Amino acid sequence: PRHRPHPPFSLPPPPLPVEDLKDPLPPQWRCFMSPQGRRYYVNTINNETTWERPSSTPGTPKTPHRHKNSLPAVNGFHSGGSPLHHVENSHNSQVRKGSTAEPQVRPSGHLTINCVTFPSLAVVEQQLLKPSDWSYCDYFWADKKDAQANGSISGFEVLLQKQLKGKQMQKEMAEFIRERIKIEEEYAKNLAKLSQIPLAGQEEGTLGEAWAQLKTSLADEAEVHLKFSSKLQSEVEKPLLTFRENFKKDMKRFDHHIADLRKQLVGRYASVEKARKALADRQKELELKTQQQEIKLSSKIEEDIKKARRKSTQAGDDLMRCVDLYNQSQSKWFEEMVTTSLELERLEVERVEMIRQHLCQYTTLRHETDMFNQSTMEPVDQLLQCVDPSKDRELWVKENKTGEIRPVDIEI
């Protein structure tokens, strides 16, 4: 998707003092300095930005078209080094649970979804904070439809769910290793038990020795598997279980922190809307008084117009104050979203790497077990190579012979 910058909710901050006072800009244009030290210009009426200095005709830049990827913009602030704010498919985003609000298009052209301002499709292209990284901080600004409920969840909640799922997978892996340990323990127990059964215990000779060694090897193998199960428990299962024991507590802290910032943002957006309505009412009142004056001149109407104008001015000031507070809240929320999502990203990398290392330890222990098992077979192999039926016969005959004198024929 194409990524667009977060448009100004209101007027940008005061211009940097970089303009030549002898050649002032048109009234609605302000000059700013880019991080690279290059001047650019912002129209405070329609938020248009351009590298070209506006002409003497008010409201018209020398080059009317916009430049892609030219100007940094974050949360409505055209400031030097701030990270860029990315919103993916913001115009199609769902609202949060419990909200029935639809995206609103403001006169400035930006969209408001669930009390958060997003760029319109006509705004200059937006860069990613971490291009080519598929970073959390670039792809979770919009809300996501919740398949299990009529509503949606925030992008940050999606990240939290990923963390919780990862913790659950880690727990289930530990349970799997526990079952593997049980199998090893049971196998070792059965091997040790089998090695004690006196079957074929009366076998003699070199074959008897090989057979006895084979039974002994079962006991040795049982010991190998017991050691394997013990190492699995201490070097694989336990680390998987104990990794980040305070995980849920940390996730709740992150959740509450971002939720509080979002709640503050919602409240200040409500104040903006209230102030916007109040200003519209004051302007209508002023317009009505002005129309009355056109019909009938009187000192009372003139005084009423002055009062209406003061109220309208005050309402405008109140709106600007509310907008400023809103922008401050949204900027703070944005910064904390970036910081916290990068922390969650780091934690996920750490979790995956931890699990990978301990699964590698599992395979190492398994290979060691095979080698130890092989070593228990070596004496058996050696004795089996020495089995000699002729020697066994000799030994057995010497031990069990009943006489060497052979019978002869009867003589008459």
Read off the pLDDT of residues 212-240 as tens digits, 9 standing for 90 and up.
999 999 999 999 999 999 999 999 999 99
Interacting residues of 354 by C-beta distance below 8 A, sequence separation 6+: 239, 243
Query: Beta-strand (E) ranges in 135-244?
Result: 144-145, 152-153
- Contact predicate 111/103, CB 8 Å: yes
Tell me what pLDDT residue 61 has.
Answer: 40
Instruction: Give the pair of three-digit tokens for residue 288.
Output: 């009505």
Tell me what pLDDT residue 56 has.
Answer: 52
Return phi, psi of residue 306, to 5°.
-60, -45
State how far the alpha carbon of 307 is from the alpha carbons of 249, 275, 286, 289, 312, in Å: 56, 18, 9, 10, 9
Return the bridge partners of 49, or none: 42
Tell me what pLDDT residue 91 has.
Answer: 32
289 CB neighbour count, 10 Å cutoff: 18
- Contact predicate 109/120, CB 8 Å: yes
Tell me what pLDDT residue 179 has.
Answer: 98
Could you give the domains of the chain?
247-363 (1.20.1270.60)
Which segments in the chain show pLDDT lower than 50?
A: 1-20, 57-101
Among 342, 343, 318, 330, smallest CA distance to 263 is for 330
Segment 369-375 long-range contacts (CB within 8 Å, at least 24 positions apart):
369/224, 369/225, 369/228, 372/224, 372/227, 373/221, 373/224
